[in-house]
Structure 1
Amino acid sequence: MKTQNTILLVINPIAGGTDKQPIINAFEKHVSQDGNQSFIYETTGDRDKEAIQELIKEQNPDRIVVSGGDGTIREVADAIKGASVKVGLLPSGSANGLATNFDIPDSLEEQLDIALGNHFIAMDLIEINGYTCLHIADLGINAQLIKNYEKSEIRGKLGYLIQSFPTLLSSDFPFEVEIQCDDQTISEEGILVAIANANKFGTGAQINPTGKMDDGIFEVLVFKNFSIKGILETFYDDAELDPDFVKVIPCKDVNIVSKKSIAFQIDGEFIGDEQRIEAKMTPHKLNLAIPKSFRR
């Protein structure tokens, strides 16, 4: 007799500004067809981490499926730190950077097959200034764009595009930073300093071509100038970035100090204007369901 599994769906009802009922309906149908039991938690923005932890204690789910953006996934990752529960993704945020990095398709049915499938990665997690980072954090022009986007009323990729022009025109970059990584100290000047666990931004721009999300290290990348050629190269899967455009520093922990406060974001969420960034690889892993076709 087949053992019944319990699947929790954590869903952010406002992520991406879309109706989530079709996702709920498809999830419940898919889970019941497999003879499993489902239950659903809708985030509220108020003590969601604690509520998820309480549900896990009560229901002991075999898997958690997350529907929302990267912020919702981070909330779940924080709630299950130290636990072995497996996680699947139904991306429904504005940019969905983590899903972009794992080539998760747009089709909801395909997403469900992957989220409830049996192909996983033990994904690294980074702690940055007390926050969990899943894929990419950065100081500089991209974080400034996100800051401006969050103030605007137009959501989605159109909102990012509209904000990109005034951000570029009004920015006073480059800026100077001192980077202390392992046993070396480096002084650099750039328009963006990224801490990258992953390869790509949610837009698909590949800023860290050699990065792996399960190798126990992350990369610090200093983009030195605004190069149209360099930026265009990030949109190719086989990109080899010019060292005159970007400097790459592999790290397990890093301190980054700027001479002035600079816009800072984690996984597409503006955190604040910061002068000091402390990042380290954590001992925790996220057991994430990914496509069988994903190439490490």
Structure 2
Amino acid sequence: MKNKIHFIVNPIAGKGKNKLPVALVEAYFPKENYEVFIKETEFIGHATALTELSIKEGAQIIVACGGDGTINEVACCLVNTQVILGILPMGSGNGLASNLKIPKNLKKALSIIKKQNAIEIDTASINGEPFFSNAGIGFDAHVISDFEENTTRQLFSYVKSTFRTLKKYNYKNVVELNYNGITERLSPFLLFISNSNEMGYKMSLTPRASLQDGLLDVIIVPKLSTFKLFLFAVLFLFKKHHWLKEVRFQQVKNLEIKSLDDSILKIQRDGESILQKHSNIIIEILPNSLNICVKKV
């Protein structure tokens, strides 16, 4: 029986000129041994619909071709299934792919998928909605929102969004956190919850995070003075944000966040802004819940 491999391509991820040549794919997956289907997305959420169809069509490997947002849409359908996720990094940041050492070089990434060396990784959820790299409430969510308004998605645009957000960021939200038997209240500058050790562009807020330890790494940064806001941003760019004494790290299996002023919190999930309508947020780890193709060590 032929192996069925489906490619879900986001043509506007990253620089917005993504194509997956049929001839190249067939060179790695010849017709006599594989059934290959290439599907292109046309709108936000389309990758999820295409993935659900591919599962019904019996795909054994489904390859997300795009950035972390595309990977999220595809992978959310594969959690706790036997279907294997493959990745062709075509986005701007490619945080999860970088964490897994999957190269942007198309031929090398296709070789990894062909070898089908699959491992189980942890995934996470925020109010039941899966995420795979990270989620954030506060400053980073506002940066992502600003970043999404840019027509060019590249590192320099991210840096500009960071400093633009610093100038206008005004936060008054008061939240209650519950984790590891601890309850605390604060007005957070940043709450960042990570399953992987990269955000994209080789940048990281949680360098010790692991996709296979059954834990989420949380960075908690309370309200800061204007000077320390800019100091945090500069230290972060040089991967030294832990030098700031206000920065705290925790490892958790679950985290509850309650908005005490009933305001709607701005959230990012795998680098995409989402509107969270609830004032109560539950974030949980789902150990060993996704099969994914990686490079053999």
TM-score by length of 1: 0.85
The residue identity in structure 2 corresponding to 1:80 is L
CA spacing shift, 1:142–1:41, aligned 2, 3 Å:
same
Distance 1:111 1:80 in 2: 20
Distance 2:233 2:160 in 1: 21
CA spacing shift, 1:207–1:215, aligned 2, 3 Å:
same
Q: Is the 8 A contact 2:120 2:288 kept in 1?
A: no
Distance 1:135 1:100 in 2: 11
Matched, 1:251 2:236: no
The residue identity in structure 2 corresponding to 1:73 is I
Matches within 5 A, 1:123-134: 123-134=121-132
Q: Is the 8 A contact 2:90 2:104 kept in 1?
A: no
The residue identity in structure 1 corresponding to 2:147 is Y
Matched, 1:178 2:176: yes
Distance 2:18 2:53 in 1: 23
Identity value in percent: 30
CA spacing shift, 1:231–1:189, aligned 2, 3 Å:
farther
Q: Is the 8 A contact 1:121 1:214 kept in 2?
A: no
SS in 1 for 2:290: strand
TM-score by length of 2: 0.85
Matches within 5 A, 1:4-19: 4-19=2-17
Q: Is the 8 A contact 2:119 2:294 kept in 1?
A: yes
In structure 2, which of residues 211, 215, 218 is the aligned counterpart of residue 217 of structure 1?
Answer: 215
CA spacing shift, 1:121–1:207, aligned 2, 3 Å:
farther
The residue identity in structure 2 corresponding to 1:265 is Q
Q: CA RMSD in A?
A: 2.8
| Structure 1 residues 268-290: Cα deviation after superposition (integer angstroms, max 9, x where no partner) | 00113675422112366111112
Aligned equivalent of 1:119? 117
Q: Is the 8 A contact 2:62 2:84 kept in 1?
A: yes
Q: 1:134: how far off?
A: 0.5
Distance 1:203 1:70 in 2: 12
Aligned equivalent of 1:103? 101
The residue identity in structure 2 corresponding to 1:54 is L
Q: Is the 8 A contact 1:88 1:116 kept in 2?
A: no
Matches within 5 A, 1:1-296: 4-32=2-30, 35-45=33-43, 48-58=47-57, 60-173=58-171, 176-224=174-222, 225=224, 226=229, 228=231, 232=235, 235=238, 241-242=242-243, 244-258=245-259, 259=261, 260-272=263-275, 275-282=279-286, 285-293=289-297
CA spacing shift, 1:55–1:261, aligned 2, 3 Å:
closer
In structure 2, stretches of 5+ residues that fail to align are: none
Distance 2:241 2:170 in 1: 28
| Structure 1 residues 19-66: Cα deviation after superposition (integer angstroms, max 9, x where no partner) | 3334544223221289433111222336543442233222x2221111
In structure 1, stretches of 5+ residues that fail to align are: none
CA spacing shift, 1:15–1:200, aligned 2, 3 Å:
same
The residue identity in structure 2 corresponding to 1:266 is R
CA spacing shift, 1:48–1:199, aligned 2, 3 Å:
closer
Distance 1:49 1:66 in 2: 10
Deviates further, 266-275 or 192-201: 266-275
CA spacing shift, 1:48–1:104, aligned 2, 3 Å:
closer
